[in-house]
Amino acid sequence: MTTPSFVVLKDVAKRWNGQLGVEGISLDIPEGSFTALLGPSGCGKSTTLRLLAGLELPDEGNILIDGKDVTTSAASDRNLSMVFQSYALFPHLSVAENVVFGLKVRRVPKAERQQKLHRALEITGLLGYEDRKPGELSGGQRQRVALARAIVAGQRLCLMDEPLSNLDAKLRNSVRKDIKKLQRDLGITVVYVTHDQTEAMSMADTVVLMKDGHIQQVGAPEDLYSKPNNTFVAEFVGAPPMALIGSVALGGFGGGHSVGIRAEDIDIVAKGKGRLSCTVTESEFLGSETLIGLDHKDATGLCILKSGLSMMPEGQLVDINFHDDSLHVFDEAGQRMPAP
């Protein structure tokens, strides 16, 4: 017998003045999981989160949390916490006062507030910062205060809307690990909105990739990477993204319209021994490897990765090779086709 999903969205749609927000959104999110809503700006990921939070009401469909239909329920009745892109801290209140503000409003007894405060600050590494004001904290510390506030709320569902986008790269990496550890340690269900695929792929159990208000693919990060549903997923997921080659250039391989290949599956071979002849367009040293961009009239995004420092001169002609089992075949509409 399968366990019922903790969060369910059934055919949810939202439009503004006839303009599409999201359409046909259906998701089943297990309790204790970490789900990332990923996609470019305007794809509908934040709208989906706001619908789940009760900050917007859907035009169609149903939303259930823990078996209860909350489609038209107020945000305050949905038993969830939220962490926003802006830390949403009161500048005149101390760290401790910010963290327990919601508990105070709900008239939680002082002893219980203090107990929850101590645990939340301990978990987020903020013990000793109780009396500081937000203006005295770094960006990473302020985001940890927002996380601590979500922890003391004690809700089983936490929604996060691009919480790391205001942080620099080093801090993002640090707080990303904090959030994932918190989610595991507390066993809470997290739905996390981001446009950053590195965040989504490194943190989430399940990634929901969206485009133009529709879901393109739902699955584990490795599934989106190795078995993209369509060319949008192929070109969005991965750094570098999957290259696409017109199948005609490969003798009509697989009967498809285009063929996808990852950079790590391509090798440079001796002249006349490859499947395609290309021109080097750029070399980018990344530290442990070098990314070499290639140009071919029937391909987009073609590149290879070579270990260490392996710069190649722009304009150099090279032959490349790859195995059939590394290729992904897509039809004229850009949908994935079965492997030949």
Tens digits of per-residue pLDDT, 216-236?
Answer: 999 999 999 999 999 999 999
Q: Which pLDDT score is estimated for 1?
A: 46
Residues 116 and 16 in one domain: yes
Residues 281 and 306 in one domain: yes
Contact 114, 152 (CB under 8 A): no
Contact 12, 50 (CB under 8 A): no
Contact 31, 156 (CB under 8 A): yes
Residues 220 and 97 in one domain: yes
Per-residue tokens: 167: 């942080």
- The reply to whether 96 falls in a domain is yes
Ramachandran assignment for 217, one of left (phi > 0), alpha (psi -120 to 50 degrees), beta (any other): beta
Per-residue tokens: 340: 């030949």
- Our measurement of the distance from residue 231's CA atom to the centroid of its chain's CA atoms, rounded to an integer in Å, reads 18
- Our measurement of the distance from residue 59's CA atom to the centroid of its chain's CA atoms, rounded to an integer in Å, reads 26
DSSP H stretches of helix in 54-92:
none
Tally the residues of the chain: 340
Q: Domain end: 231, 258, 290, which one? A: 231
CA distance linking residue 328 with residue 238, whole number of Å: 14
215: β partners: 210
Q: Domain end: 185, 204, 231, which one? A: 231
Q: Which pLDDT score is estimated for 315?
A: 97
- The reply to whether 1 falls in a domain is no
Peptide bond into 340 cis (omega under 30): no
pLDDT in tens, 139-167: 888 888 988 898 888 899 999 999 888 77
Residues 197 and 251 in one domain: no
Residues 206 and 324 in one domain: no
Select from 68, 44, 50 the least CA-distant residue to 156: 68
DSSP string, 218-254: EE-HHHHHHS-SBHHHHHHSTTTTPEEEEGGGGTSGG
pTM: predicted TM-score of the whole model, two decimal places = 0.91
CA distance linking residue 208 with residue 220, whole number of Å: 9
* Amino acid found at 168: D
Residues 260 and 160 in one domain: no
Q: Which pLDDT score is estimated for 105?
A: 84
Q: Domain end: 184, 204, 231, which one? A: 231
Residues 198 and 297 in one domain: no
CATH code at 216?
3.40.50.300
Structurally, the chain folds into a number of domains equal to 2
What SS3 class is residue 301?
coil
- The reply to whether 335 falls in a domain is no
The residue segments making up the domain with residue 132 are: 7-231
CA distance linking residue 99 with residue 278, whole number of Å: 58
What SS3 class is residue 138?
coil
Residues 62 and 134 in one domain: yes
Residues 269 and 297 in one domain: yes
* C-alpha triplet 144, 142, 79: angle, nearest 5°: 55
**What backbone torsions phi and psi does residue 260 show, to the nearest 5 degrees?**
-100, 145
Per-residue tokens: 61: 């469909």
Per-residue tokens: 277: 């002849």
CATH code at 278?
2.40.50.100
User: Taking the CB of residue 296, how many other CB atoms lie within 10 A of it?
Assistant: 16
- Which residue ranges in the chain fall short of pLDDT 50? 1
What SS3 class is residue 61?
strand
Residues 145 and 18 in one domain: yes
3-class SS letters over 154-199: CCCEEEEECCCCCCCHHHHHHHHHHHHHHHHHHCCEEEEEECCHHH
Q: Which pLDDT score is estimated for 3?
A: 62
- The reply to whether 2 falls in a domain is no
Half-sphere exposure of 223 (CA within 13 A, CB side): 12
Residues 295 and 210 in one domain: no
**What backbone torsions phi and psi does residue 140 show, to the nearest 5 degrees?**
-65, -40
CA distance linking residue 311 with residue 119, whole number of Å: 51
Residues 129 and 203 in one domain: yes
Q: Which pLDDT score is estimated for 229?
A: 97
